[in-house]
Amino acid sequence: MPDLKNLREKIDDLDVKIVDLLNKRAEVVLQVGKAKQNKQIKVHSPERERAILRKLKESNPGPFPSETLKLIYEEIISASVALQQPLKVAYLGPIATFTHLASRRKFGSSSEYLPESTIKDVFEAVFRGKVNYGVVPVENSTEGIVNYTFDMFMDSDLMIASEIMLEISQNLLSKSGRMADVKKIYSHPQAKAQCRSWLERNFPGIPIINELSTAAAAKRVTKNPSAAAVASELAATVYKLKFIEKGIEDNRRNVTRFLIIAKESPGKTGKDKTSIMFSIKDKPGALFLILRPFAKHKINLTKIESRPSKRKAWEYIFFVDMEGHIEQTNVMKAIKDVQKECLFFKVLGSYPSAD
């Protein structure tokens, strides 16, 4: 039988070696930073980040889980970027919203985060150079699209730089953690909709009051021992609340998609999406003529949405996501064909697609 003391000593020795290797890696990172500075290259490279994570996954023989390895290396990359120049990221706040959680998952704990009150404020922070990136919600698998995010792209020159897919788990939080103490519940309307059946079943007749965000709901509950909030695990930590119940969402496959916005899109990574928006001529078969080039050039469309243009009655703007990068020949040809049939056309960006 293996000796427990010897095994623990082996682990201790390996931990020391890991720390030593991380510091050696950091020294090389600092050299990379100087080389980039000399050549005036941006510190953060999504293409390079994706390549590192892909290579690690492919070379991992186990038994260490690849998904956990990915999370660890995302933090290592975040710390490495911070050694060169800390990234600044604006997100739809306040602190402890799901957008905040998605931002931290993507950019790690070493980045600097700035909460903004509205989606428009996030766009403005990026446009004015206050931050490197902005993170905004765009759609939820249960409740559909966030219209205001789509609307912001109509007049903005910012691009989509990446996307984040975050599984959303809602929780009921309070100061005491006791169900019997709850006389009212605070929630963001979308969070309430995601948990409607559970709330009706467990709290019939209890008033549910709308808040601007799940984080705002959690913050309000800190001052009211007879109230509860529907919010994230991060909100429980930030606002020092206890769990009445975890995972109260009605749909266990509840995923929200977030967009990362920046002043430019990254280069090809090998697994990319391209997003466009356009309006079409008012004539029979107009939408068919727009979609035909994608089939002709064998491009898979992953999403198509329409929104009123707000400029002319019954005029609509279409938003389309497709697989592939605009630098690919077939994507470029399809886009050129589509443009011929459009009154208005805009590429929103080519970017790494989320896992």
Q: Domain of residue 308: give its range.
A: 272-352
Which residue reads 């035909």 in tokens?
A: 292
pTM for the predicted model, two decimal places: 0.82
At 121, is the secondary structure helix, strand, or coil?
helix
pLDDT of res. 292? 92
Catalytic member of 123, 153, 203, 258: 258
> Are 10 and 80 found together in one domain?
yes
Q: What percent of the chain has pLDDT over 70?
A: 97
**250 in a domain, yes or no?**
no
Nearest to 176 by CA among 273, 242, 224: 242
pLDDT digits (tens, 9 = 90+) for 103-131: 998 998 889 999 998 999 999 999 999 99
Longest dimension (CA), the chain: 80
Mean pLDDT calculated for residue range 58-86: 88
Q: Give domain status of residue 267, yes or no.
A: no
| pLDDT at residue number 310 | 67
Q: Which one of 256, 274, 294, 318 is the catalytic residue?
A: 256
Quote the number of domains for the chain: 4
CATH of the domain at 220: 3.40.190.10
In a domain, 14, yes or no: yes
The answer on 164 and 176 residing in a single domain is no
Give pLDDT tens digits for 273-309.
Answer: 999 999 887 777 778 888 899 999 999 999 998 887 6
pLDDT band at 78 (very low <50, low <70, confident <90, very high): confident
- Let me know whether 157 and 190 are in one domain: no
In a domain, 196, yes or no: yes
Rounded (10°) CA dihedral 272, 51, 253, 349: -30
Element (H, E) at 267: none
Active site residue 258: yes
Q: Which of 231, 262, 293 represents a domain boundary (last residue)?
A: 262
pLDDT(243) > 60: yes
CATH of the domain at 45: 1.20.59.10
274 catalytically annotated: no
CA distances from residue 195 to 153, 192, 200 in whole angstroms, order as listed: 30, 5, 9
Domain boundary among 52, 84, 116: 84
Same domain for 57 and 93, yes or no, is no
Q: Which of 84, 107, 124 is the last residue of a domain?
A: 84
Whether residue 11 is contained in a domain is answered as yes
CB 260 within 8 A of CB 106: yes
Q: What is the mean pLDDT of the chain?
A: 89
